Amino acid sequence: MAQHFLLSAKARTLFLKSIYAAGEITAYETFRKIRWHQTEGKPVCPHSYAIPSRRKFKCAACYHQFSVTSGTIFASRKMAFVDRLAAVCIVVNAAKTLSALQLSRDLDCQPKTAFVLPHKIGEALTSEVTDETLDGEVEVDGAYFGGHIRPENHKEDRRDRRQSKKHPNADRGGAGLGPHSPTTQADFLRPSSRPSRESAGCCAQRGGGCGLTGVNAPARCLA
């Protein structure tokens, strides 16, 4: 039996111990090579020069100062480059994601900072596949959403549901199927990222709970 790719050595390309062993300077150079990969880590502006004491660059023509994270989701950062690169490594290598408290303990930072980091990384990953269309055999994991409706901020806009016997999901146009309504992540995909008409859908839900129904007929259900 052939070995799965995720179990092979080729699947391990980003190591946490190598990031901290290389240090802050190497992490900064890595950010530069990723940001300006066309020019091998040098700013695209031909008139710019480096300010080594502040790790910034300045344009000699317009006197504008910028850094390697300017205009990105990591702009106005306060965390060290080695910690920011380690956060990327921990988040992308997590098989089932991780909590903000766990990330805050690993990086020795505030829980609020650890809460924002995965969202920023996810935003960067989503921006890379905004116009992508899924082809071939598409697999979607199952998930459960619903069961609680957050009340409105203003008291006059709130609804009294204490005497209501109707399931909260029915207010959203869904079926009242117990405490949770089964659905899949396909219901929350962006319109530009939906599977194409020719793709074969594979979901982890049975029967009517499959989110690919109506978009593509599922070839098989994994549940």
Residue 217 pLDDT exceeds 70? no
If asked whether residues 166 and 197 sit together in one domain, one would say yes
Last residue of a domain, one of 98, 128, 158: 128
Whose structure tokens read 């502006």? 45
Domain around 178: 137-221
Q: How many residues make up the chain in this entry? A: 223
Return the higher-pLDDT residue of 144 and 10. 10
Q: Summarize pLDDT for 149-169 with one digit per residue, the tens.
A: 778 889 888 888 776 555 444
User: Beta 137-140 vs 142-145: how paired, if at all?
Assistant: unpaired
SS3 144: strand
Euclidean distance between CA atoms 27 and 42, whole angstroms: 15
High-pLDDT (> 90) share of the chain, %:
15
Label residue 42 exposed, middle or buried (CB < 10 Å: 0-12, 13-18, 19+): middle
Euclidean distance between CA atoms 43 and 37, whole angstroms: 9
Return the higher-pLDDT residue of 15 and 128. 15
Return the higher-pLDDT residue of 201 and 12. 12
Residue 178 pLDDT exceeds 70? no
If asked whether residues 109 and 154 sit together in one domain, one would say no
Q: What DSSP string describes 23-90? A: -HHHHHHHHHHHHTGGGTTS-S-TTEEEETTTTEEEETTT--EE-TTTTSTTTT--S-HHHHHHHHHH
Q: Examine residue 153 and state whether it is found in any structural domain, yes or no.
A: yes
Token pair for 66 = 């910028």
pLDDT of residue 138: 78
Number of structural domains, the chain?
A: 2
Residue 219 pLDDT exceeds 70? no
Last residue of a domain, one of 128, 163, 194: 128
Residue 201 has φ and ψ, to the nearest 5°, of: -90, 140
Lowest-pLDDT range of 40-49, 112-121, 146-155, 205-214? 205-214
Residue 90 has φ and ψ, to the nearest 5°, of: -65, -40
If asked whether residues 18 and 81 sit together in one domain, one would say yes
If asked whether residues 121 and 36 sit together in one domain, one would say yes
Q: Summarize pLDDT for 54-92 with one digit per residue, the tens.
A: 888 899 889 888 888 888 888 887 889 999 999 999 998
If asked whether residues 143 and 120 sit together in one domain, one would say no
If asked whether residues 120 and 143 sit together in one domain, one would say no
Buried/exposed code over 94-130 (b: 16+ C-beta within 10 A; e: otherwise): eeeeeebeebbeebebeeebbeebbebbeeeeeeeee
Q: Examine residue 189 and state whether it is found in any structural domain, yes or no.
A: yes
Q: pLDDT band for position 193 (50/70/90)? A: low
